């Protein structure tokens, strides 16, 4: 493997499909397509076109970087499953990077945060673990606002990671699912 990876990073954990191409020791191109829905159908054609526009093909890649959240539940699963499939199909490592890690890359000493439902946030204090707290508990938190800067940071982190020590990417779930069992009594099944 070359000392400098040729890496395709992508993320669908928010209302966008974002991609960045890292080669020659830096991010050489990035793209953000804003979209509230449809990332599953949009992601792979977007990545194919993005690589082609930048003179690369799938076979040029030596590594994949992928956003693991926190964020939109379905969006995270879309990009993580795509990264794992590409990793397996291309025989290259996939490196998962959380949104909080990417934001920390940009703001190393700040409390970083991602908006969560119901006036809550997913936050990480410097040198702390990710938590799910009320927004009022972290009034000085820095939020992920610029998807272009975030995908660039994600690509840089994934390029610097030790691929031999990295686990397969998986979604970052900071809190348990909101789903609850049905309150209604289950129907009786007749013989």
- pLDDT 10s digits, 92-129: 999 999 999 999 999 999 999 999 988 999 999 999 99
CATH number of the 7-106+145-165 domain: 3.30.420.40
Kindly report the pTM of this predicted structure.
Answer: 0.90
* Most distant pair of Cα atoms in the chain: their distance: 68
What mean pLDDT is reported for the chain? 93
Can you give the pLDDT at residue 3?
67
Place of tokens 């990332």: 39
Mean pLDDT of 25-44: 97
| pLDDT tens profile 142-184 | 998 899 999 999 999 999 999 999 999 999 999 876 666 777 8
State the DSSP string of 70-123: SS-HHHHHHHHHHHHHHHHHHT--EEEE-HHHHHHHHSTTS-EEEEETTTEEEE
Q: What pLDDT band is residue 188 in, cutting at 50, 70 and 90?
A: confident
Say whether pLDDT at 54 is over 50.
yes
Q: How far is CA 97 from CA 94, 102, 104, 113, in A?
A: 10, 7, 11, 15
Contact criterion met (CB below 8 Å) for 74 and 148 = no
Can you give the pLDDT at residue 185?
79
Can you give the pLDDT at residue 1?
41
């Amino acid at each position: 493997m070359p000392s400098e990876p040729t890496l395709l990073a992508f993320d669908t954990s928010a209302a966008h499909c974002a991609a960045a191409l890292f080669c020659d020791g830096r991010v050489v191109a990035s793209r953000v397509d804003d979209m509230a829905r449809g990332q599953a159908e949009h992601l792979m054609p977007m990545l194919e076109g993005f690589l082609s526009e930048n003179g690369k093909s799938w076979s040029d890649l030596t590594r994949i970087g992928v956003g693991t959240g926190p964020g939109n539940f379905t969006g995270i699963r879309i990009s993580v499953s795509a990264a794992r499939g590409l990793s397996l199909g291309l025989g290259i490592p996939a490196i998962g990077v959380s949104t909080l890690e990417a934001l920390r890359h940009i703001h190393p000493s700040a409390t970083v945060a991602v908006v969560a439902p119901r006036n809550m946030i997913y936050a990480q204090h410097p040198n702390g673990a990710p938590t799910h707290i009320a927004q009022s508990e972290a009034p000085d938190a820095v939020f992920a606002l610029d998807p272009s800067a975030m995908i660039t940071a994600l690509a840089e982190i994934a390029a610097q990671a030790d691929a031999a020590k990295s686990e397969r990417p998986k979604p970052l779930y900071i809190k348990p699912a909101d789903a609850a069992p049905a309150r209604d009594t289950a129907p009786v099944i007749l013989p």
